[in-house]
Structure 1
Amino acid sequence: MFDIGEKLKTLRINAGFTQPEIAEKINVTKPTYAAYEKGKDISVNTLNELAKIFNIPFESFFMDNVEKFKQIENKGTIKRIPIISRVSAGRGEYGTDDILEWLEMPVSLCDGADYATFVKGDSMEPKILDGDLILIKKDEYLDNGNIGIFRVGDDVFCKKYFNNPITKEVILKSLNSKYDPIYLDENFHDDFYILGRVICKIDYNF
C-alpha cells in the first residue's frame, strides 16, 4: 500500500488548495476527489494530472514518504516514456504501437526503459497482475529466465523466455500454472519477434 489518498491530502494542504479547487482542476466532482483522498481507486491518467498540479514526478506517488518525494529535483532527472497499447498475459492479444499517453518518471527509477504498456490477463500472476503497467527495454536478445514481450504472428504476449540452443526451440512460459507453455520450433522463427525485456512494473490497483 502506498497511501496515495493520504499523500494527496498532504500535498493539497501544503499547496494551499481546497478539495473543490482540485476537483475542478481535474474535472471531477468534489465527492469524487474527496473519495480519492480516502483511498478510492484512481486511474493513471488522473494521477498524472495531479502530479502536474502538485509539480512532482508521477512516480513520487509510489514512494514511501510524502516529504521525501517532494524533495526530488525535477530538472534534468525526468524521463518521458511512451505508453503503448496493452499486451496480453494470457493466450494472446493483438498489439499495436499507437502511443496512448506519456509517463514522466525520475531517470533513477526508469533508466533503460524505452516504453511502457498495460498487461491484460492473469498468466503472469503472482508476479505481474492484470492491469499492471510494465516498463520495457527494447532488446532483441534475452537470457533464459528473462520476462519479456513477444510477438507471435499478430499476437503479443508477456511471458518468461527460454531458448534451447541445441534444438533451437523457444519456449514462452507463464508463471500461472493454469496456462500451458508456448512452444516454437525453428519453423516458426519468421513469425516470432522479441520486442523487449520487462525491467519493472508499476502496480496502481490498490
Structure 2
Amino acid sequence: MKLTDEAVKKLGDLLLAERERRKLSQAQVKIKLEGLGQLVNSSDIQRIEKGERKTPNAILIKNLCKLYNLDPIDLFREIGYLDPKPKSKSQFSPECVYEKNEMIPIKVYDSIAAGFGYPCEAVECVEEIYIPVKNRQNVVAVRVKGDSMSPRINEGSLILIEKDTEILENEIGAFCLNGDYLVKRKVVSGSGDLILMSENSEYSPILIKPHDDFQELGKVVGIFTWF
C-alpha cells in the first residue's frame, strides 16, 4: 500500500487532528496501541503524522482507526487513496431474486469452495431451502462463517452468489486468493490497486499483488438472515 505525497500528508494531518482532538500524547497513543496488542515506537506514530511514511503499516493504521473510532474505508477515501463511493443503486436490488414469487429449491453449502465444487471429494449440500430466484442454474447459496463482513453480513447469514458475474467497484463478491475462499468488498484505489475490504474494521484490507493466485468467483446478489 504505497501512498502519494499528497495522500500521505492528508493521512498524517487527519490522524494528528484526531489524536489532538482526544487530547492524547504520542506516548499515550503508544500505550493504548500496546493494549490492542501492537508494539510500536512513538517515532512510528510521529513519522505517520508528519507524512514521512509513504508505505504505512496497514496493521498500525487499522489499530489507529480503531483507537480513534474511524472507518478505514472512509479514511482512505478521504485522503484520495480510494475512489469516492459510487452513487449507484445497491447491488442487492432484486436483479437475481424475488421474481414472480415463484419458490425454487436451492441447495445450501457450508463453504464457498464446496458451493463452487472445488474440493476433490464428492460435494454434498448441507440443506435445501426454497427462495424466489430467477436464475437457479447460476446461483449458489452459502452459509457465512466468521464476522469479517459484519454488520452487513453476519455470521450464519445465507448469501446468494451469482457465478461468473462481474464484480464491480464497491460491490461484495466471492473470491479465491492463494487457495483461500473469501467474501469481501472489492475496492480499487486511485492508483489502480485492487483491494479486498472487510466491513468489520477489526480486519485489515487485503492488497492483491501481481504474483497472487487470484480469481473472482461471483457477485453476492442476496443476503438472508432469517433462515
Query: TM-score normalised to the size of structure 2?
Result: 0.46
* Structure 1 partner of 2:160: 135
Task: State the Cα distance separating 1:104 from its structure 2 match.
Answer: 4.0
How many residues are matched? 119
Partner SS state of residue 111, structure 2? strand
Q: Name 1:111's counterpart in structure 2.
A: 134
Q: Report the CA distance shift for 1:172/1:104 in structure 2 as closer, same or farther (over 3 A).
A: same
Indicate the percent of aligned positions where both proteins have the same amino acid: 30
* Number of the residue aligned with 2:145: 120
Change (3 A) 1:112 1:172: farther
Structure-2 change in CA distance of 1:186 and 1:165 (3 Å): farther
The answer to whether the 8 Å contact 1:83/1:99 transfers is: no
Q: Which residue of 2 aligns with 1:184?
A: 208
TM norm structure 1: 0.51
Given the superposition, is the C-alpha separation of residues 166 and 111 from structure 1 closer, same or farther in structure 2, using an over 3 Å criterion? farther
CA separation in 2, counterparts of 1:165 and 1:193? Answer: 21
For residues 101-130 of structure 1, the C-alpha deviation after alignment (integer angstroms, 9 at most, x for no partner) is 4534343xx334611001111111111001
Gap runs ≥5 in structure 2: 1-99, 118-122
What is the SS of the residue equivalent to 1:186? coil
Task: Provide the rounded CA distance (Å) in 2 between the counterparts of 1:155 and 1:147.
Answer: 16
1:143-184 per-position Cα deviation (integer Å, ceiling 9, x unaligned): 1011111111221111001235964x3210000111001111
RMSD: 2.5
Query: Retained in 2: the 8 A contact 1:150–1:194?
Result: yes
Select the structure that is richer in strand: 1
Return the alpha-carbon distance in structure 1 between the equivalents of residues 153 and 103 of structure 2: 25
Q: Deviations over 1:129-152 (max 9, x none)?
A: 011111111135211011111111
What's the offset of the Cα at 1:186?
2.4
Task: Tell me: CA distance 1:180–1:106, structure 2 relative to 1, closer, same or farther (3 Å).
Answer: closer
